[in-house]
Amino acid sequence: MSQTVDRALSILPLLAEGPADLGQVADRLGVHKSTALRLLRTLHEHGLVYRQSDQRYRLGARLFALAQEAMENLDVREIAHPHLVRLNESCGHTVHLAVYEENEVLYIDKVDSRYPVRMYSRIGKPVAITVAAVAKLLLADLPEHERRAVAEKLDYPAYTARSTPDATAFLRELEKVRQQGWATDLGGHEESINCVAAPIRGADGRVVAAMSVSAPNVVVTADELLTLLPLVRRTADAISGEYSGRTPSKGTV
């Protein structure tokens, strides 16, 4: 909508791939070097872009700080955190909290496993949306048509033999998840990792976030992990209660 801003913002994903010099940026934007320079300077002033010693540009520190602050303003996260920690203490496994936002599901909190085998994931990282248990819960709650639209837009990477193969299978799975009120991912993302997840609901009953417990086969079998389901659901319900009860923490409506 605004050309200048549009161009400037296009620089960010470009730099996310790795550092680039003025010429490269200008080329990839399709603008004159002087234009690119001015845009970069503006981004720089706002700290979104950093100029390293070899004069090339990189994404800047303010970006982290912003993402950080944004995260801390999410009240679900704040409320959920102590519950997640407690759950982790009682079962020892990795606990995740995720939300859905415009075709993406992302982790907004994580408590690491207390077993030596850790799984790779990072707060802020988009989730493997077609297979993750939390993603299924979040998408399952979308209105029918939107769910359908999203499902058909997605790619279905075959991470493992058990990954969701296509939109039809995914929609079927979502329907099942919606009815049973919980979800699993049994080796659909990483062959040896299983997850059990439960939804966190707002006052109106809509799913605002989802949480999961994940553990590799070498620690517990899928069946053993499933015995945790009641505990996971209870935790999620406790968070839902507190969240919809609107604890007087932040003044945001």
Gap between the Cα atoms of 2 and 140, Å rounded? 35
CA 5/CA 91 separation, integer angstroms? 48
Show the site string, 2-21: x = touches DNA by CB under 7 A, - = not. Answer: xxxxxx-------------x
**Which does residue 50 bind out of a second copy, DNA, none, counting CB within 5 to 8 angstroms by kind?**
a second copy
Q: How many CB atoms lie within 10 A of CB 201?
A: 21
Candidate list 37, 71, 169, 219; residue touching DNA; CB under 7 A? 37
HEC string of 199-247? EEECCCCCEEEEEEEEEECCCCCHHHHHCCHHHHHHHHHHHHHHHHCCC
Q: Which residues bind a second copy (CB under 8 A)?
A: 1-2, 4-6, 8-10, 12-13, 15-19, 38-39, 41-43, 45-48, 50, 54, 58-61, 63-71, 73, 89, 101-102, 104, 106, 112, 114, 116, 122-126, 250, 252-253
- Looking up tokens 């845009």 gives 39
Q: Tell me whether residue 51 or residue 233 sits nearer to DNA (CB atom).
A: 51
175 binds, among a second copy, DNA, none (CB under 5 to 8 A by kind): none
Q: Which is nearer to a second copy, 50 or 156 (CB)?
A: 50
* Alpha carbons 247 and 76: distance in angstroms, whole number: 11
Contact positions toward DNA, by CB under 7 A? 1-7, 21-23, 31-35, 37-39, 55-56
